[in-house]
Amino acid sequence: MATPHSTAYWTGYAIGVLILVALYLAPTIVALVYKTSNLLAVVLVDVLLGWTLIGWIVAWVLIFTGHRQGAQQVAWPTTYPGYGGGQNLSPDRMFWWDGIAWRDTRVVAPPWAPRSADGFWWWDGYQWRQVPTPPQTT
């Protein structure tokens, strides 16, 4: 049994204190790793009000309501610089962005895409694709 004067007692006590401090500062640690835009607010709320359960919960909420710095906000559109003036094709190359909506390449080819000399093929950056026939209007 460890007595208050033994090394094992104080080592266990120090480990316990470190674990409690890490739990107390968990929102701050996660905010640093997550790189949230609310970092200052999270640190202040966690350090000053974290001792109350409500302050600790508010710090957690602040972490996940802020934006991640350096994170890409939009997966689409994917741009292909140097090709078509940077216009956008979807990653699967089945759709292109016209500035308002996504258009299906099987229905209409992007107007900025390079065309073959005969005008029946367009280049998607990887392969030549047949220009779709325009829909019949009656």
* Residue 78 CA, distance from chain mean position: 15
For 98-138, the pLDDT digits (tens) are 778 888 888 888 888 888 888 888 888 788 888 888 767 76
**β-sheet bridge partners, residue 95:** 104
Query: If we measure between CA atoms, which residue out of 65, 45, 71, 64 comes closest to residue 56?
Result: 45
So what's the pLDDT on residue 70? 57
Residue 7 has pLDDT above 70, yes or no: yes
- Domains of the chain, by residue range, sit at 7-65, 78-130
Percent of all residues in the chain with a pLDDT value above 90, rounded to a whole number: 25
So what's the pLDDT on residue 128? 87
So what's the pLDDT on residue 73? 47
Whole-model pTM over 0.95: no
